[in-house]
Amino acid sequence: MAASGGRTVGSFLWKCGNCCFNFNTVSSNLTRQVLSRQLCVSAVLHRKNLAAAGPEKFSEEFIKKQVEEFNIGKRHLANMMGEDPETFTQGDINRSIAYLFPSGLFDKKAKPLMKHPDEVFPKQRAVQWGADGRPFHFLFYTGKQSYYSLMHDTFTKALAVEKHQDRLRGKDLFTQDAKQISLVGSRWLLKEELEELLVETISEHDYARFIQLMERLLSLPYCSVEEDFVQRYRRQLEIQSSKQQVQPLQYDQHGVAYSTGDGKQRKTATGTVLLRDSGSGSISINGTNYVHYFPVLQDREQLMFPLHFMGVLGRFDMQCSVSGGGHSSQAGALRLAISRAMLSFLSEGQVETMRQAGLLTPDPRIKERKKPGQEGARRKFTWKKR
């Protein structure tokens, strides 16, 4: 099979096991392509040169077949569910699979899934040398060829930008306030994400150097020329506070404002709160006074925290109901419910401060599972030397 020239394969790298395809390792920067030919390569050669990449498990043919099967299967599934095969998205696939194969398992990774083979099979590296043993890439003997070629390209781009600037200066068109690349709301790729992109391991030092080089590129005034290149290595950040839903205030028959905090979970305890405005600071929990319900000071401090933080200690009357869990988790659940109920009384800026204080985040900690061979979740059995 001859690969046509000029086609970039993206970040896919294939390696053939004991058969015959030699594919180039094409990174996003290189466009050079090598014709592949049918060749028998001895297993000895393979074994000697399999370094960090590891042996190839799936041939390219196999993956292609999987992709075809996936697409056909997707259309079948769409027909089965009575939907349009053309506009069947991955979300629809997930829903349909969950419907057709209901699973009682808890672990998400153990449930049946149907995804594109790109996401299922891990990316692999192709063999990087030819039949004569000569590597394709000029930086192969550095050991981290993708990383160093990336650095090389970035520096080339920086030099190109400087050359552009010099040309503009020569023509007297140089201005300091050229259009800058907007970096707000995005972050650099993490080390793990970069490793995934390059399909090779890099050290922290290497990663730091890469970021340094990118920052240097960005410090040039005319870096907007290379905006596409830079944006490829940045990810968007989501704005957290816009996810918060603030319910509108409700008014009861006397015109007094009230709002409810919905039942909040903390380690199997759920609580609901009804906040009433213009009250005297009295709190009743499940019908009893909160001093009797929470004799421990710590629990009452938990209840006090959202009100004290916003400075509205004596303003609200509260009726709470709580069930499940122990006294500490009930206090935590009520605290979260109070914060949520208070949102409708507060302004945007105050909502943001509450979110940053951590009052609106449900506590995800639950009891850790006990493992076999140990006495508890972490505690091991007593170690006896003999």
Residues forming a β-bridge with 272: 321
Closest approach of another protein to the CB of residue 272, in Å: 21
**Which amino acid is residue 201, in one-letter code?**
T
Burial of 257 (0-12, 13-18, 19+ CB in 10 A): middle
Identify whether the C-beta of residue 264 lies closer than 8 Å to the C-beta of residue 270. yes
Q: How far is the CB of 247 from another protein (least distance, A)?
A: 25
- Please report how close the Cβ of residue 261 comes to another protein at its closest, in angstroms: 18
Rank residues 26 and 283 by Cβ distance to another protein and give the closer one: 283
| Beta carbon nearer to another protein, 198 or 285 | 285
Query: Smallest distance from the beta carbon of 289 to another protein, in angstroms?
Result: 7
Virtual torsion, Cα 329, 335, 337, 340, nearest 10 deg: -140
Minimal distance in Å, beta carbon 332 to another protein? 17
Instruction: Indicate the DSSP class of residue 4.
Output: P
Backbone phi and psi for residue 223, each to the nearest 5 degrees, phi listed first? -70, -10
CA angle 377, 379, 380 (to 5 degrees): 115
Q: What are phi and psi of 251, to 5 degrees?
A: -120, 135
CA proximity to 295, closest of 324, 321, 330: 330
Q: Tell me the CA distances in angstroms from 312 to 139, 263, 291, 342, 346, one per residue in order.
A: 65, 22, 19, 10, 11
Judged by beta carbon, residue 67 or residue 313, the one nearer another protein is 313
> 3-state class of 125 per DSSP?
coil
- Is the Cβ of residue 300 or residue 355 nearer to another protein in the bound state? 300
Output phi, psi for 328, to 5 deg: -70, -40
- Least distance in angstroms from the C-beta of 339 to another protein: 16
Question: What is the distance between the alpha carbons of residues 284 and 317, in angstroms, rounded to a whole number?
Answer: 9
CB of 320 to another protein, least distance (A): 14
Task: Output 252 or 301, the one with its CB closest to another protein.
Answer: 301
**Min separation Cβ 331 and another protein, Å:** 13
Of the pair 234, 300, the CB lying nearest another protein is at 300
Which of residues 9 and 304 has its CB atom nearest to another protein in the complex? 304
Q: Where would I find the beta strands (DSSP E) of 162-240? A: 186-188, 234-236
**How far is residue 11's CA from residue 104's CA, in Å, rounded to a whole number?**
37
d(CA 313, CA 197): 53
Handedness of CA 150, 151, 156, 160 (dihedral sign): positive
Nearer to another protein, 209 or 300 (CB): 300
Residues lying near another protein in the complex (CB under 8 A) are found at: 281-283, 288-292, 297, 300-301, 304, 307-308, 311, 313-314
User: Would you say 196 or 277 has its CB closer to another protein?
Assistant: 277
Compute the least distance from the CB of residue 292 to another protein, in Å: 6
